[in-house]
């Protein structure tokens, strides 16, 4: 039996150590994003195409319905751009919140590498989802412009801010559900149940003005509807929202992110061990 | 040096809690390769995962000031859908090594030939082990944590690994988990025995093997 040494590796936190940790984490997240991209899109040549097809189908269907119903979109916004902005930007929320859920249970084997944490895994996925959505949005808007539809952006910076709010909301919800899912598998059902009403209740293909007043008061509890209103208000010259509130949207986004991160902090250790 | 301080770990089973590590305190001496012996199901793999920080202990802490590999097993943290090439680049990136160097070293050392560009899930267990070892050798660790997997592959390949480790002896040590005495005798300077939650280090390898033999022959 050997005696124990009293000198243990120094565990105190110093600035160089902190910088080293940040460098490692950046490296890890970068590697995870590349790996996730390869896993998801690498094997199928049309993999990336799917990311485009999904919003495209939604937009086409609703453009056709609206074009036949009445020949204009709300407030005289150009119809194609109106739908594209609605459907592509909604992905900034839905994709992270949908695909982050399984990230701990699906990538448990990755934790074999000590520098990879559940936080890195979830964040890397979120970043990938958001980047793909931005790419899809930009690409489809450009295509629409080339095809001769009217695409003019009033305030790109405002659009970007609203998009970021959507991404933050989605990532926060994603962190929340990703941390709970290994412990309570039924949270998957919750998101499935919520998906449908959120899809129809977030103003993807209408503006708050066009909803009957009785329903509008309730729908305006939905922060996504607020952000969608603000987004269109910033994008289109023709439209100014009278319902969207930056304060309400921002509060929701950052509170959701805080709740998501805190839940992750509280449960990630148990989530790892739970098989 | 790797030090374990008051490390406890237990698992919940149908029959109640099962204690795997009961307040373990141990220093792994610098520059020595240590084998960890234990009967089946005593928690050897859990121990090496805790040493490698792949799993948190319930309480207590692991301290380390050197570059330690991930616990090397048959497949570990690799993605089966991706090829050996992509997996090796991933490992290089997270350890801050040059992806190109690691890729080339692994391709050469693993001798996987054309399989190197095939998805990992099409590999046999032996081939996966070969790949895992080759990648880890490319990364120049100071400690290699090995979980039984030295027995993978054919005899010729096992020998190649042993030689590679032998070459690195000067600046790299192995912590090796096995229930095979032969493997421990060939690769380690000393050995520890994990039994009923306690881990005892024997400076003398022969003494450890003797103890282990007694343990094995105990009626259970």
Residues from chain B that touch A35, judged by Cβ atoms under 8 A, are 79, 82, 86, 90
Q: Which of B27, B53, B201 lies closest to A114 in CB terms? A: B53
Fill in the DSSP letter of residue A42. Answer: I
pLDDT 10s digits, A194-209: 988 998 899 888 888 8
Specify burial of residue B76 (Cβ count, 10 A radius: 0-12, 13-18, 19+).
Answer: buried
Instruction: Suggest the residue from A113, A120, A267 to mutate for an interface test with chain B (most B CBs closer than 10 A).
Output: A113
A124 in any annotated domain: yes
| Residue A83 resides in a domain | yes
Asked if the structure places residue A52 within a domain, the reply is yes
Q: Which pLDDT score, from 0 to 100, does residue A1 have?
A: 47
* Whether residue A169 has pLDDT greater than 50: yes
Work out the mean pLDDT of chain B and round it to a whole number: 85
Q: Do A8 and B5 touch (CB under 8 A)?
A: yes
Q: What residues in A contact B91, CB-CB < 8 Å?
A: 113
Q: Is residue A251 within 8 Å of residue A159, measured between CB atoms?
A: no
How far off is chain A from B103, nearest CA to CA, in Å?
A: 15
- Interchain contact, A115 vs B94, CB within 8 Å: yes
Give the structural domain span for A181. 15-273
Assembly ipTM? 0.83
What class is the B1-69+142-154+172-220 domain?
Answer: alpha beta
Q: Tell me whether residues A111 and B77 touch, CB distance under 8 A.
A: yes
Q: What are the angstrom distances between the C-alpha of A171 and each of A91, A96, A122, A167, B151?
A: 12, 5, 9, 6, 44
DSSP notation for A50-84:
HHHHHHHHHHHHHHHHHHHH-S--GGG--HHHHHH
- Are the Cβ atoms of A113 and B54 closer than 8 angstroms? yes
Mean pLDDT of B83-104: 92
Q: What is the mean pLDDT of residues B200-212?
A: 87
Q: Quick one: which of A59, A252, A73, A269 has its CA closest to A162?
A: A252
Model pLDDT for residues B21-41, shown as the tens digit of each residue: 998 999 888 888 899 988 887
> Hey, are the CB atoms on A113 and B70 less than 8 Å from each other?
yes
A151 SS3 class = coil
| Residue in this structure with the two tokens 């509890």, named with its chain if needed | A221
Mind listing the pLDDT tens digit for each residue in A47-102?
Answer: 778 888 888 888 888 888 887 776 666 777 888 899 899 999 999 999 999 889 88
Please report, rounded to a whole number, the percentage of residues in chain A having pLDDT higher than 70.
Answer: 92
What's the pLDDT score for residue A6? 61
Q: Is residue A10 part of a domain?
A: no
Count of structural domains, chain A:
1
Beta bridge partners of B62: B4
Which residue of chain B has the CA closest to A11?
B63
Instruction: Please give the pLDDT value at position A177.
Output: 93
Residues 6+ apart with CB under 8 A from B105: B134, B137, B138
How many angstroms separate the CA atoms of B198 and A155, rounded? 66
pTM: 0.88
Tell me if A67 is assigned to some domain.
Answer: yes
Mean pLDDT of A10-14: 72
pLDDT higher than threshold 50 for residue B216: yes
Residue A7 lies in a domain: no
Q: B10, B19 in Cβ contact below 8 A? A: yes
């Amino acid at each position: 039996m050997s005696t124990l040494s009293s000198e243990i590796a120094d565990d105190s936190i110093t600035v160089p150590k902190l910088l080293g940790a940040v460098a490692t984490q950046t490296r890890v997240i970068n590697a995870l994003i590349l790996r996730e991209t390869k896993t998801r899109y690498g094997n199928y040549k049309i993999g990336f195409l799917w990311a485009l097809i999904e919003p495209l189908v939604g937009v086409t269907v609703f453009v056709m319905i609206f074009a036949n119903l009445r020949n204009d979109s709300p407030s005289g916004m150009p119809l194609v751009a109106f739908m594209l902005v609605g459907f592509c930007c909604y992905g900034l929320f839905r994709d992270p919140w949908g695909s982050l859920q399984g990230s701990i249970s699906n990538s448990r084997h990755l934790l074999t590498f000590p520098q990879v944490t559940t936080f890195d895994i979830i964040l890397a996925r979120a970043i990938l989802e958001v980047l793909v959505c931005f790419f899809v949005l930009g690409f489809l808007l450009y295509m629409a412009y080339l095809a001769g539809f009217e695409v003019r952006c009033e305030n790109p910076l405002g659009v970007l801010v609203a998009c970021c709010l959507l991404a933050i909301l989605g990532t926060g919800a994603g962190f929340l559900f990703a941390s709970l899912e290994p412990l309570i598998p039924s949270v998957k059902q919750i998101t499935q149940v919520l998906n449908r009403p959120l899809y129809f209740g977030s103003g993807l293909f209408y503006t708050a003005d066009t909803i009957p007043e009785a329903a509008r008061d309730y729908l305006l509890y939905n922060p996504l509807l607020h952000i969608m209103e603000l987004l269109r208000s910033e994008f289109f010259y023709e439209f100014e929202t009278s319902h969207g509130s930056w304060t309400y949207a921002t509060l929701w986004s950052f509170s959701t992110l805080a709740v998501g991160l805190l839940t992750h902090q509280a449960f990630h250790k148990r989530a790892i061990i739970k098989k | 040096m790797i030090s374990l301080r008051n490390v406890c770990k237990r698992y919940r089973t149908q029959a109640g809690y099962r204690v795997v590590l009961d307040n373990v305190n141990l220093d792994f001496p610098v520059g020595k390769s240590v084998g960890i012996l234990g009967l089946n199901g005593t928690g050897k793999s859990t121990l090496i995962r805790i040493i490698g920080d792949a799993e948190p202990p319930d309480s207590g802490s692991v301290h380390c000031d050197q570059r330690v590999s991930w616990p090397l097993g048959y497949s570990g943290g690799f993605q089966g859908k991706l090829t050996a090439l992509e997996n090796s680049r991933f490992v290089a990136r997270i350890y801050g090594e040059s992806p190109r160097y690691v890729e080339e070293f692994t391709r050469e050392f693993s001798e996987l030939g054309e399989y190197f560009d095939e998805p990992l899930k099409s590999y046999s267990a032996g081939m996966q082990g070969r790949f895992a070892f080759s990648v880890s050798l490319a990364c120049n660790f100071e400690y290699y944590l090995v979980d039984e997997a030295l027995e993978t592959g054919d005899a010729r390949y096992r020998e190649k690994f042993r030689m590679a480790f032998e070459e690195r002896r000067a600046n790299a040590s192995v912590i090796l988990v096995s229930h095979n005495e032969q493997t421990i005798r060939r690769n380690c300077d000393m050995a520890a025995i994990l039994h009923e939650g306690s881990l005892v280090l024997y400076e003398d390898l022969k003494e450890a093997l003797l103890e282990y033999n007694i343990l094995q022959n105990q009626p259970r």
